[in-house]
Amino acid sequence: SYPPSAMPAAAPAKGDFLACLTKSIPPRLLYARSSPAYGSIWASTVRNLKFDSDKTAKPLYIITPTEPAHIQATVACGRKHGMRVRVRSGGHDYEGLSYRSTKPETFAVVDMSLLRKVSLDGKAATAWVDSGAQLGDIYYALGKWAPKLGFPAGVCATIGVGGHFSGGGFGMMLRKHGLAVDNVVDAKVVDANGNLLDRKTMGEDYFWAIRGGGGESFGIVVSWQLKLVPVPPKVTVLQMPRSVKDGAIDLIVKWQQVAPSLPEDLMIRILAMGGTAIFEGLFLGTCKDLLPLMASRFPELGVKQGDCKEMSWVQSVAFIPMGDKATMKDLLNRTSNIRSFGKYKSDYVKDPIAKPVWEKIYAWLAKPGAGIMIMDPYGAKISAIPDRATPFPHRQGMLFNIQYVTYWSGEAAGAAPTQWSRDMYAFMEPYVTKNPRQAYVNYRDLDLGVNQVVNDISTYESGKVWGEKYFSFNFERLARIKAKVDPTDYFRNEQTIPPLFK
Ligand code: FDA
């Protein structure tokens, strides 16, 4: 961020861009800073309130396309008149890169929220989904029209399809069905020349890159074709808090060994906070089948009949993030999420962490400004897919992912949680993956590094610093594909894949 005085004025020279747009896009879909609705449209999906501020570098224009041709025209006009575009689907980016810049810059935002159709083909068990849909739109459509089918994606209904799939996307079925993008079979994308491509016309390299190589870098994905997965008539949800006083640390020590090797139908994650660990599970089956499994594999957790909540799969996707009052209809609510100020980081763990270290971790979780740790076990399907099959490299041998979540209300309250987040991350270094220390691109963290732009191109060397953390050995291939599909680096933000030409 920078002071408002340093913000680019509504540059008259860019009027050509607007004039160009109006030849192909109805004016009611275009917002300049002077438009009365500009402020509310811009803020509509700002999820991290840190960026809902006068100090934020905002776009000159917002375009809300209702058809792919509008996106093609925006890219063509942008290229012609020197206006970069950032694309926003659900606006959940932790660093707000879909709607703001960290430095003074003129840009426009393509806001996909009006492009949100979900078209199911129940017989073929496939669906076409627009990027502006939220995950809840997919889940709701499945629950209503094809209750025997599900889709493995994120836990929160308001997450946008466009950004989530661009970074991989995982939720409570990751052990059975892998990432969201492991189940994407086709896509439509507008490239840097304004062409609308599908899997056949973009080619396999390009298609590989957009399934997890991070948002913004390769063009604007308009829609995705999904392979839907079968779900049983009943699933079982567990939510079991255990306090440190009552042995939570011993349970976590055991969990790290057990959770990644359980049968693929069972996922048990941990939310660690204060003096508590909540063991949250989804079993793709009934309580009757779950109880003997838990008794043999993880008896220490002590799961009993009364701990089981049986429901349909679609009820579980509402219940897990929103609680027992949530109904299927809540999956369609675009404002259901509490918005707060936040800072987020992530890690991957390959070797079990020793009990004395967990004791220290809980001491950290009791410090001022402490956040929570969400730990998702891997193993089974997500780890069985080869590390190079998609850009997402965190698969074989990975025990679990950690997300460090800190949030607060009111700008003034941010210092302690932000400091805690950085200190906690520093403390964890010896216990997590190394060379590179891996991180999940959908948990965007600008502390990992940002691109340097030289001669109007993001440099490979600067991108490598953060890029190898998100993509490991797949980063170089992503950069070579970027050089082919967007050699002028038109689609860029602080953490887009830089082109590698050699
Ligand atoms: P947003 O619109 O901000 O876009 C994110 C990035 O993708 C930006 O760089 C943007 O430019 C780009 N982009 C957006 N649309 C695009 C398009 N159509 N084509 C090309 N690029 C595009 N993750 C997870 O895996 N599992 C989970 O359970 C959760 N849970 C969760 C809960 C909450 C409350 C938040 C805020 C976030 C998560 N996440 C998550 C992280 C989430 O997956 C991540 O923030 C996604 O990028 C969000 O996608 P949106 O479209 O909402 O974001």
Give the bridge partners for 196, in sequence order: 190
Q: Shortest CA distance to 220 belongs to which of 88, 79, 22?
A: 88
Q: Which helix (H) or strand (E) holds 157?
A: none
The number of beta carbons lying within 10 Å of the beta carbon of residue 204 is: 9
Which residue matches tokens 């359980």? Answer: 262
Q: Is 37 helix (H, G, I), strand (E, B) or coil?
A: coil
Report how far residue 121's alpha carbon sits from residue 144's, in angstroms, rounded to the nearest whole number.
13
Give the pLDDT confidence score for residue 306 in this predicted structure.
98
Residues 135-145 have a mean pLDDT of 98
Q: What is the ipTM of this complex?
A: 0.99
CB-CB contact of 378 with 395 (8 Å): yes
pTM: 0.96
Half-sphere CA count of 293, side-chain side, radius 13 A: 20
Q: Shortest CA distance to 67 belongs to which of 201, 222, 225?
A: 222
Residues 297-325 have a mean pLDDT of 97
CB-CB contact of 149 with 183 (8 Å): no
Is the confidence at residue 10, as pLDDT, over 90? Answer: no
CA angle 195, 199, 200 (to 5 degrees): 90
Give the pLDDT confidence score for residue 11 in this predicted structure.
45
Determine whether 261 is exposed, middle or buried from the number of CB atoms within 10 Å of its CB (0-12, 13-18, 19+). exposed
- CA–centroid distance, 154 to ligand 1, in Å, is 10
| CA nearest ligand 1 atom 43, residue | 164
User: Which of 87, 184, 207 has the most ligand 1 atoms within 8 A of CB, as the residue to mutate?
Assistant: 87
Give the pLDDT confidence score for residue 288 in this predicted structure.
98
Question: Buried (b) or exposed (e) across 291-325, using 16+ Cβ within 10 A?
Answer: bebbeebbeebebeeebbebebbbbbbbbbbbeee
Residue 216 banded pLDDT, cuts 50, 70, 90:
very high
Give the pLDDT confidence score for residue 5 in this predicted structure.
33
Paired tokens of 472: 């490991």
Kindly state if the Cβ of 166 falls inside 6 Å of ligand 1: yes
Q: Give the position, in ligand 1's atom list, of the atom nearest the Cα of 47.
A: 36
Give the pLDDT confidence score for residue 3 in this predicted structure.
31
Report how far residue 145's alpha carbon sits from residue 147's, in angstroms, rounded to the nearest whole number.
6
Residues 482-499 have a mean pLDDT of 98
Residue 4 banded pLDDT, cuts 50, 70, 90:
very low
Determine whether 338 is exposed, middle or buried from the number of CB atoms within 10 Å of its CB (0-12, 13-18, 19+). exposed
Q: Is 7 helix (H, G, I), strand (E, B) or coil?
A: coil
- CA–centroid distance, 93 to ligand 1, in Å, is 5
Give the pLDDT confidence score for residue 339 in this predicted structure.
83
Is the confidence at residue 252, as pLDDT, over 70? Answer: yes
Give the type of residue at 309.
Answer: K
The long-range contacts involving 166-170, CB below 8 angstroms and separated by at least 24 positions, are 166/210, 166/212, 166/213, 166/214, 166/215, 166/216, 166/221, 167/212, 167/214, 167/215, 167/440, 167/441, 167/442, 168/211, 168/212, 168/390, 168/391, 168/392, 168/440, 168/441, 168/442, 169/442, 170/376, 170/382
- CA–centroid distance, 71 to ligand 1, in Å, is 19
| Cis peptide leading into residue 36 (ω within 30°) | no
Give the pLDDT confidence score for residue 14 in this predicted structure.
60
Kindly state if the Cβ of 65 falls inside 6 Å of ligand 1: no
User: Which of 44, 70, 95, 98 has the most ligand 1 atoms within 8 A of CB, as the residue to mutate?
Assistant: 98
Residues 7-24 have a mean pLDDT of 71
Kindly state if the Cβ of 477 falls inside 6 Å of ligand 1: no
Q: Which helix (H) or strand (E) holds 119?
A: strand 118-121
Report how far residue 154's alpha carbon sits from residue 418's, in angstroms, rounded to the nearest whole number.
25
Is the confidence at residue 108, as pLDDT, over 90? Answer: yes
Mean pLDDT score of the chain: 95
Report how far residue 281's alpha carbon sits from residue 289's, in angstroms, rounded to the nearest whole number.
14
| CA nearest ligand 1 atom 29, residue | 154
Residues 448-456 have a mean pLDDT of 97
Look at the chain and count its residues.
502
Residues 406-430 have a mean pLDDT of 95
Is the confidence at residue 274, as pLDDT, over 50? Answer: yes
Q: Shortest CA distance to 206 belongs to which of 186, 183, 179, 225?
A: 186
